[in-house]
Chains A and B, each alone.
Chain A
Amino acid sequence: AQSVTQLGSHVSVSEGALVLLRCNYSSSVPPYLFWYVQYPNQGLQLLLKYTTGATLVKGINGFEAEFKKSETSFHLTKPSAHMSDAAEYFCAVSRGNDMRFGAGTRLTVKP
């Protein structure tokens, strides 16, 4: 069985500050890991994904995440927050066609 835990349902940062959204996973097989972003009243958009290979994954809008097997983590980071980054972020784990989502983290960016 696979599952994801996102630490912190709400994160608030100042514009220009580092963004760090935490995700830990549980999987009995090597996982595929994803971060999705959801803007208000919209569907989910893929930010980045890890399947195999390089453990540091770069995504869209300047986001990146690092797969750390020893820590079972896949935290999402961005060096400098922008106002347009305010949204809900979901971490997900899958293998094959079985995808499970975390509860989400709402990111607020203060001017």
Chain B
Amino acid sequence: NAGVMQNPRHLVRRRGQEARLRCSPMKGHSHVYWYRQLPEEGLKFMVYLQKENIIDESGMPKERFSAEFPKEGPSILRIQQVVRGDSAAYFCASSPGKGADEQFFGPGTRLTVL
């Protein structure tokens, strides 16, 4: 049973470009979470999604950031018009939902904005 998969593992973008980060949850998991980790800081919750629905996006910046988890395919975190401050590691986690407690993490995508 493959774990949570994220790609790409490393992404370099110039200011103003778009970044697309992908997350495939563990098999059987219908809940996906995105977190951002800035250098020397902890994990900050961004958004929680279930299939085709955003449940909680309270941690996501109102502008330039969006997330989706379509019926088919991976969850996508999209950052438009990236700025240097977006440089961070972005982690995806999944859980089976239905009151489950533990979240399983992917290896992360390290975004560098030049």
**Residues of A in contact with B (beta carbons under 8 Å apart):** 6, 32, 34, 36, 41-46, 49, 51, 90, 94, 96-104
Chain B: residues with Cβ within 8 Å of the partner, total of: 27
Q: Are A90 and B107 in contact (CB under 8 A)?
A: no
18 new A-B contacts at CB < 8 Å, known A44-B93, A99-B33: A41-B108, A41-B110, A43-B91, A46-B104, A49-B101, A49-B102, A97-B31, A97-B33, A97-B48, A97-B95, A98-B56, A99-B45, A99-B103, A101-B42, A101-B43, A101-B45, A102-B42, A104-B41
Q: Which of A51, A96, A102 has the most CB of B within 10 A?
A: A96
A-B contact pairs, 17 of them (CB 8 A): A36-B105, A41-B110, A42-B107, A43-B107, A44-B43, A44-B91, A44-B105, A49-B101, A94-B101, A97-B31, A99-B45, A101-B35, A101-B42, A103-B41, A103-B42, A104-B41, A104-B42
Chain B residue with minimal CB distance to A34?
B102
* A45 interface neighbour in B48, B55, B100, B105, Cβ under 8 Å: B105
A34 CB contacts on chain B under 8 angstroms: 101-102
B25 CB within 8 Å of chain A = no
Q: Mark B78-114, 1 if CB is under 8 A from A, else 0.
A: 0000000000000101010101111111111010000
Within 8 A of A (CB), among B40-93: 41-45, 48, 55-56, 91, 93
B56 CB contacts on chain A under 8 angstroms: 98
Q: Are A100 and B45 in contact (CB under 8 A)?
A: yes
Q: Give Cα A102–Cα B108 distance, bound, in whole angstroms.
A: 18
Q: Give Cα A96–Cα B42 distance, bound, in whole angstroms.
A: 21
What is the minimal beta-carbon distance from B23 to any residue of chain A, in angstroms? 11
Q: Are A90 and B105 in contact (CB under 8 A)?
A: no
Whether A90 contacts B48 in the complex (CB less than 8 A), given A97-B31, A99-B103, comes out as no
